[in-house]
Copies of this chain bind each other. A is one copy, B any other.
């Protein structure tokens, strides 16, 4: 007699839990991968316009079922409204965006190059779909980086089949989204196995180990991401792991910005507090550190404003434990309280937001002050010399994003700040905050190690598809044997660049 292990669905608002769906047995993982293997060549050979229609159907069904999906998501995440309904709407928009990218041909990058010579050589290069891929979504974006989020939709857009690992922070929502996807994809005629879901920790490891899986996309903690990176390296044939992990995202306020009216202490503090407490601080792009001029009043204003922020709930017991532990470790490392937000009812996984002050000199490699503390806490450091502030930024761990508040076009310090920050991050934001990642052509949601495991790749935007492709060069291959996107008759209608610039 075997017992079926079940996932557990926790409710952050109350701390209660109910049984979630069953975890996947090893044979079920094998079945899911085998289906993805069978589907892959069919998905890859499907014209992008058809794949776009699949994604459009998913987007529409997400919108149709928005109310019930958001209610279920709120039970399991306590992220509330309008956050969850907004996230669902953006998730549907992203599915459509990746469909548009698929038909744009950007991801294919078809190039026809004729090399001169006595007998010219013809080199036709394009990015081909990689194979079945595994997706590990995030706790903090149950839609955006969930079962049907950026990774899944960009992989399908790029012609790959996908097996998703359900996230333990929202197992029931994961299964509901998987059922939605399976039903919709069947209805629109996508091959069986285009999408699959597995559940459970061991199932996730089996997925990474499966020889037929060709890439892993992950969004979440550094511990989780690095564990998958290590695991994938141990395979007989290592595969890329695109782990988006995130660290502290620093924002610097230049001296003239603090002096100018467009970045008054109250404005900067209000923007900072709103940004680092968004989603109760559970964002990989949370600004975790603000560097402001001494005497600007910004630190004090942050302290005042944070005390007005209401209590919120963290996503999981693990995150709640880490947050409390992290706050204590930040204080141990030398941070002192600027203020805390204690309003609201302290039930379930509730946690209070906090702002801490640190000395610039204590921001040194090895200090816990340089580590990400996931949740609604951020540090403020004041500087006497702007050069010292930039030197501190250069000592930080690289991040997904960083920001600079300037006094406009004539800020004498802004160019150096942008340059310094750009060496440390995947995205530099001027006169704004790093939270809010647009799903668009120019986005780069990535960053140098350890912000991600692959600084060259992006998990959001048009470049997200490239992770699930691989260039192949076809040398002197006759027309009849070329992939559709490299043939002269161009049946998919994707753009082709010809030799040279």
Residues of A with Cβ closer than 8 Å to B?
Answer: 104-106, 111-113, 115, 121, 123-125, 128, 233, 237-240, 398, 406, 408-411, 414-415, 417-419, 422, 425-432, 438, 440-444, 446, 448-450, 453, 455-456, 458, 463, 466, 469-483, 495, 499-501
Beta-carbon contact of A111 and B441 below 8 Å? yes
Q: State the 5 A-B residue pairs at the shortest beta-carbon distance, nearest first.
A: A113-B442, A123-B442, A444-B473, A427-B473, A418-B481
Give Cα A472–Cα B449 distance, bound, in whole angstroms: 14
Beta-carbon contact of A481 and B426 below 8 Å? no
Beta-carbon contact of B113 and A440 below 8 Å? yes
Report B-chain residues with C-beta under 8 Å of the C-beta of A477.
Answer: 418, 428-430
Report B-chain residues with C-beta under 8 Å of the C-beta of A430.
Answer: 474-478, 481
Beta-carbon contact of B471 and A463 below 8 Å? yes
Contact of A476 among B121, B233, B431, B456 (CB under 8 A): B431
Beta-carbon contact of A473 and B115 below 8 Å? no
Contacts A432-B476, A449-B237, A472-B426 given; indicate if A111 touches B455 (C-beta within 8 A): no
Give Cα A499–Cα B100 distance, bound, in whole angstroms: 13
- Nearest CB of B to A224, in Å: 17
Can you spell out 30 A-B residue pairs with CB atoms less than 8 angstroms apart? Answer: A105-B501, A111-B441, A111-B442, A113-B441, A113-B442, A115-B438, A115-B440, A123-B441, A125-B442, A125-B443, A233-B233, A237-B449, A237-B450, A238-B449, A406-B481, A409-B478, A411-B481, A414-B478, A418-B477, A426-B471, A426-B472, A427-B474, A428-B477, A430-B476, A442-B473, A444-B471, A456-B466, A456-B470, A456-B471, A458-B471
Select from chain B the residue with minimum beta-carbon distance to A422.
B472
Report B-chain residues with C-beta under 8 Å of the C-beta of A474.
Answer: 418, 422, 427-428, 430
Give Cα A426–Cα B115 distance, bound, in whole angstroms: 18
Contact of A455 among B414, B417, B470, B499 (CB under 8 A): B470
Give Cα A417–Cα B476 distance, bound, in whole angstroms: 14
Report B-chain residues with C-beta under 8 Å of the C-beta of A106.
Answer: 501
Select from chain B the residue with minimum beta-carbon distance to A413.
B481
Give Cα A480–Cα B414 distance, bound, in whole angstroms: 9
Beta-carbon contact of A473 and B432 below 8 Å? no
Report B-chain residues with C-beta under 8 Å of the C-beta of A415.
Answer: 480-481
Give Cα A106–Cα B463 distance, bound, in whole angstroms: 16
**Taking chain A's interface residues, is the majority helix, strand, or loop, or is none over half, making it mixed?**
loop
Contact of A475 among B124, B428, B469 (CB under 8 A): B428
Beta-carbon contact of B408 and A478 below 8 Å? yes
Report B-chain residues with C-beta under 8 Å of the C-beta of A410.
Answer: 480
Contact of A479 among B238, B409, B426, B428 (CB under 8 A): B409
Beta-carbon contact of A409 and B448 below 8 Å? no
Report B-chain residues with C-beta under 8 Å of the C-beta of A450.
Answer: 237
Beta-carbon contact of A123 and B440 below 8 Å? yes
Report B-chain residues with C-beta under 8 Å of the C-beta of A476.
Answer: 429-432
Give Cα A222–Cα B430 distance, bound, in whole angstroms: 45
Report B-chain residues with C-beta under 8 Å of the C-beta of A443.
Answer: 113, 123, 125, 473
Report B-chain residues with C-beta under 8 Å of the C-beta of A411.
Answer: 481
- Nearest CB of B to A425, in Å: 7
Give Cα A113–Cα B449 distance, bound, in whole angstroms: 26
Report B-chain residues with C-beta under 8 Å of the C-beta of A471.
Answer: 426, 444, 446, 456, 458, 463
Report B-chain residues with C-beta under 8 Å of the C-beta of A495.
Answer: 501
Give Cα A272–Cα B482 distance, bound, in whole angstroms: 24
- Nearest CB of B to A260, in Å: 13
- Nearest CB of B to A308, in Å: 25
Give Cα A323–Cα B455 distance, bound, in whole angstroms: 39
Report B-chain residues with C-beta under 8 Å of the C-beta of A427.
Answer: 472-475
Report B-chain residues with C-beta under 8 Å of the C-beta of A482.
Answer: 418
Report B-chain residues with C-beta under 8 Å of the C-beta of A469.
Answer: 456
Give Cα A438–Cα B124 distance, bound, in whole angstroms: 12
Select from chain B the residue with minimum beta-carbon distance to A456.
B470
Select from chain B the residue with minimum beta-carbon distance to A430.
B477
Contact of A428 among B417, B419, B463, B472 (CB under 8 A): B472
Contact of A124 among B409, B442, B456 (CB under 8 A): B442
Report B-chain residues with C-beta under 8 Å of the C-beta of A124.
Answer: 442
- Nearest CB of B to A102, in Å: 12
A sample of 13 more A-B contacts (CB under 8 A), given A415-B480, A418-B482, A429-B475, is: A112-B442, A113-B442, A233-B233, A406-B481, A409-B478, A410-B480, A411-B481, A414-B480, A426-B472, A429-B476, A430-B475, A440-B499, A455-B470
Contacts A121-B438, A481-B414 given; indicate if A448 touches B470 (C-beta within 8 A): yes
Report B-chain residues with C-beta under 8 Å of the C-beta of A501.
Answer: 104-106, 495
- Nearest CB of B to A115, in Å: 5
Give Cα A379–Cα B466 distance, bound, in whole angstroms: 36
